[in-house]
Chain A
Amino acid sequence: MSDSALTVVVVYPDLLGTYGDGGNGVVLAQRAAWRGIPVDLVAAPSDRPLPAGDLYCLGGGEDGPQVRAAGSLREDGGLGRAVDRGAAVLAVCAGYQIVGQAYPGADGRPRPGVGLLDVVTTKGAGRRAVGEVLAEPVDGGPGAAAGAALPTLTGFENHGGVTVVGPGARPLARVAAGVGNGSGDGAEGAWCRRVVGTYLHGPVLARNPVLADLLLGWATGSPLAPLDDREEAALRTERLAAAHPFRGAARRPWRVVLGRPGGSSP
């Protein structure tokens, strides 16, 4: 592994690999490689020390594995040190919840998170939030100040948690369709420093390549050459249109918004 290469770490795919979110690491690494940036993509298993890296991706996972992932990350401590060094983190769904201050265990009781993002998640009272999401970045999102405002975010959510963003972090976006954080204010996701949390699967970076490039830009510290993103653009157009009729219906229950009969099979 060369010292000069950009290192993308997919954190604990054995525990947080349930919803295709490992694709975020692939998207980051490919977009670097296509630009000629040397890159290593590392899958970091939960039974080994977390390797040093420039970009960390955490994905969704089931309740039990989520608890173990949080425990291992807290014990390891490497993620916090990496963030202090300036590494970027993209945390999705269960990963988003555990980088926060607290999250619910399988039994619903609060458990301590890794504490990299000032959010607290509790178990939602109603049904899981499942469905397509459109979300407008708040004030252009984390990159706006540097001239890298995000466009509308698109993704698919599937979670039972309610996440409240504390004063130490900012909401990433506000839902135009779907539920997002479910905290009653329409917020979706959160960010602080170079840590970005979201409920969006898809994977989120495949559907939102500008967000991928924001993270890459943080990691490389230099401007990124444009890529031919026609296929991503076509996908985005389709997904935005598919969710469009529900714009403005954000705080209706997801099953009303999307006309779904209900969650799990009986």
Chain B
Amino acid sequence: MTLPLRSRAAVAITRGVNAVSRRLGVGSGTVIGGRAGLAVDPDLLGRLAAGRQVALVSGTNGKTTTTRLLAVALEHGRGGAGVPASGGARVGAPGRVGQDGRGGAGVPASGGARVGAPGRVGQDGRGGAGVPASGGARVGAPGRARQHGAVVTNATGANMPAGHVAALAAGQPEAPAVLEVDEGYLPGLVRALRPAVVVLLNLSRDQLDRTNEVRMLAGRWRQALAGASETTVVANADDPLVAWGAGAAPRVVWIGAGLGWQLDAVGCPACEGRIDFGGGAGAAGAAGGGGTADEPGTGLERCRGNVAGGEGPGDGWSCPCGFARPSVDVQVVGRAPDDGAGRGHGAGGGAGLVGDAGATTREGVAGGRTEAVWADGRRAAVALRIPGRFNQGNAVMAAAAAEALGVPAERALTAMVTVGEVGGRFTVRRIGGVPTRLLLAKNPAGWHELLGLVCPGRSPVVVGINARVADGRDPSWLWDVPFEMLQGRPVVATGERCLDLAVRLRYAGVPHRTVRDPKAAVALAGRAAAAGGEGNGGAAEVEFIGNYTAFHDLLGGR
């Protein structure tokens, strides 16, 4: 693939400007060069994408993580490209050959159960074996041998066109690309890049001061994808807005990936009627919780109507107009052992009970067995090092996307076990000497998930809130977050909008301290952890949950 002169100049400029930017330390060197390149050649993006497989990942939450999981799956799953499909012998560590080899054949079954075993992570992922029978034509083509790691991706989360240009310009011209895409830019990118795969995770309220209403976004997705004849859409069937956005596409793989936050999807995108989430959640649940709080004080947090939870898988949804949850091709199943129904706890109005919401998202569940189950009966274990049920859903979406690109889903899932953090998320770092797990949540749905994740613990929680442009300048959404879940544990409010948060916590009945400087806040929480730690307080851990810039301030300012 030869680029026109103008485009080659644009690529050189993109790389050059980004290199300078990185050297000067003024940025991560991903956006500014892309802008420069686009200025030189406005069609640069389409030209850079031509001749390679492109996968786009979009949605309100989980984009960065899913992009990473898919990139890793492709890198590792097709590692040793050019090696014919029978190469099971090369796989990984001795003794495990059989399992890996099986994965290569696309045969499912029990092999997955071993995936999760800790300690074997690295080798598993590398298993370069079977290039899949179907679809992987390009992968195995001679002369294309890519080193493992040759997938192009915008790993830093620069998810608008300038970031895409920078990522594509930096990589090899024919390397497959996995790109995280801002929801609003998705239609344009679908048209410009004609991607092989588009992954649609979820849609919910986010940064209302500057982004479009979610229903409008879903409509624009639908329009763009309706004509995408070369694209396989991998879509979350549990989110009605995603189902609407994907529903007109010629080829859709529907995943029952779950949906922790349903309140933005109550209004039917097809007819403006009202989506019924079965026994699940949504507003009906919220209201159910509301009617009967007799005791002042204790009942308040149980009655807020703004929070709706309910783990989607297994919950049908439908509107009287006929728009309903598509039957799925892959279902994420598995819960804590005592929750065999796989229905979450949304029934009986539980969704409105803020204190309970998200219970099935708890980390403990990640220790329980979760599986991806295909409509044809294949099964594969979903075992990740990164926590949270929502990430298991992301992983299955990524696995289905990998399969559409020629890497068997089982192998893809196995490779994903290598991912221990995503851009600092989910990792434990020492902040001023305090071991701190770093979590990033940007909007009510994301907070709902992460509070569910940290909820069973007793360790101190530092919550960091900014309201810069990248965060959305209106922090009113704090009142859509069930901070009531933090009752009973030490909480420190921090960040530039710590006063907004402090007032929110006061009304949530969560005693807290307010410390504007994030590092000082972590230090304070660290002292609380040490003081309260059962047994000598040695390595008591602190949870830090920040929104976008608050998270990156702490991560970058270590």
Residues of A whose CB lies within 8 Å of any CB of B are 1-2, 5, 10, 12-15, 17-23, 25-27, 29-30, 32-34, 36-48, 51, 62-65, 67-68, 130-131, 156, 158, 201-203, 206-207, 231-232, 234-235, 238, 263-266
A158 B208 Cβ-Cβ under 8 A: yes
Measured CB to CB, the closest approach of chain A to B67, in angstroms, equals 19
Using known A-B contacts A45-B283, A235-B499, A264-B210, determine if residue A30 contacts B304 with beta carbons closer than 8 Å.
Answer: no
With a cutoff of 8 Å between Cβ atoms, the chain B residues found around residue A263 in the complex are: 210
Bound: A39/B296 CA distance, A: 5
Please name the 4 residue pairs, one residue from A and one from B, whose CB atoms are nearest each other, closest first. Answer: A43-B305, A14-B283, A23-B479, A13-B305
With a cutoff of 8 Å between Cβ atoms, the chain A residues found around residue B287 in the complex are: 13, 42-45, 48
With a cutoff of 8 Å between Cβ atoms, the chain B residues found around residue A5 in the complex are: 294, 296
A40 B208 Cβ-Cβ under 8 A: no
* Secondary structure of the A contact surface, majority rule: mixed
Q: Which of A15, A29, A202 contacts B266 (CB 8 A)?
A: A15
Most chain B CB within a 10 A radius of its CB, from A1, A22, A67, A158: A22
Measured CB to CB, the closest approach of chain B to A227, in angstroms, equals 10
Measured CB to CB, the closest approach of chain B to A258, in angstroms, equals 9
Measured CB to CB, the closest approach of chain B to A192, in angstroms, equals 25
B296 A26 Cβ-Cβ under 8 A: no
Q: Which of B297, B352, B478 contacts A43 (CB 8 A)?
A: B352
* Stretch among B162-170, B407-415, B502-510, B531-539 lining the A interface: B502-510
In B485-537, the 8 Å CB interface with A consists of 499-500, 502-504, 506-507, 509, 514
With a cutoff of 8 Å between Cβ atoms, the chain A residues found around residue B306 in the complex are: 10, 13, 17, 20, 22-23, 43
With a cutoff of 8 Å between Cβ atoms, the chain B residues found around residue A41 in the complex are: 290, 293, 299-300, 303-304
With a cutoff of 8 Å between Cβ atoms, the chain A residues found around residue B506 in the complex are: 231
A37 B296 Cβ-Cβ under 8 A: yes
Measured CB to CB, the closest approach of chain A to B232, in angstroms, equals 26
B299 A40 Cβ-Cβ under 8 A: yes
Measured CB to CB, the closest approach of chain B to A14, in angstroms, equals 3
A42 B290 Cβ-Cβ under 8 A: yes
Q: Indicate if B476 sits at the interface (CB-CB under 8 A).
A: yes
Most chain A CB within a 10 A radius of its CB, from B215, B274, B477: B274
Taking A14-B283, A14-B284, A17-B263 as known contacts, 8 extra A-B pairs with beta carbons closer than 8 A to each other, sorted by chain A number, are A14-B274, A40-B294, A41-B293, A41-B303, A43-B304, A158-B209, A206-B479, A266-B184
Most chain A CB within a 10 A radius of its CB, from B213, B214, B215, B509: B213
Measured CB to CB, the closest approach of chain A to B310, in angstroms, equals 13
B304 A264 Cβ-Cβ under 8 A: no
B503 A265 Cβ-Cβ under 8 A: no
Using known A-B contacts A17-B305, A27-B507, A47-B274, determine if residue A40 contacts B209 with beta carbons closer than 8 Å.
Answer: no
Flag B255-274 by CB within 8 Å of A: 1 or 0 each.
00000000110110000101
Bound: A156/B266 CA distance, A: 25
In B235-290, the 8 Å CB interface with A consists of 263-264, 266-267, 272, 274, 282-284, 286-287, 289-290
Bound: A235/B505 CA distance, A: 13
A46 B296 Cβ-Cβ under 8 A: no
Q: Indicate if B119 sits at the interface (CB-CB under 8 A).
A: no
What are some 14 contacts across the A-B interface (CB < 8 A)?
A: A1-B294, A13-B283, A13-B286, A18-B264, A20-B306, A20-B478, A23-B480, A27-B507, A32-B296, A46-B283, A47-B274, A64-B272, A131-B209, A156-B209
In B193-242, the 8 Å CB interface with A consists of 205, 208-215
Q: Indicate if B329 sits at the interface (CB-CB under 8 A).
A: no
Bound: A40/B210 CA distance, A: 35
A156 B289 Cβ-Cβ under 8 A: no
B304 A25 Cβ-Cβ under 8 A: yes
Q: Indicate if B340 sits at the interface (CB-CB under 8 A).
A: no
B210 A265 Cβ-Cβ under 8 A: yes
With a cutoff of 8 Å between Cβ atoms, the chain A residues found around residue B476 in the complex are: 19-21, 23, 156, 201-203
Q: Which of B299, B474, B500 contacts A158 (CB 8 A)?
A: B474
Q: Indicate if B473 sits at the interface (CB-CB under 8 A).
A: yes
Q: Indicate if B182 sits at the interface (CB-CB under 8 A).
A: yes
Bound: A246/B294 CA distance, A: 46
Q: Which residue of B lies closest to A156 (CB)?
A: B474
Using known A-B contacts A231-B502, A265-B182, determine if residue A18 contacts B299 with beta carbons closer than 8 Å.
Answer: no
B267 A65 Cβ-Cβ under 8 A: yes
Q: Which residue of B lies closest to A31 (CB)?
A: B507
Most chain A CB within a 10 A radius of its CB, from B289, B304, B305, B352: B305
Measured CB to CB, the closest approach of chain A to B510, in angstroms, equals 12
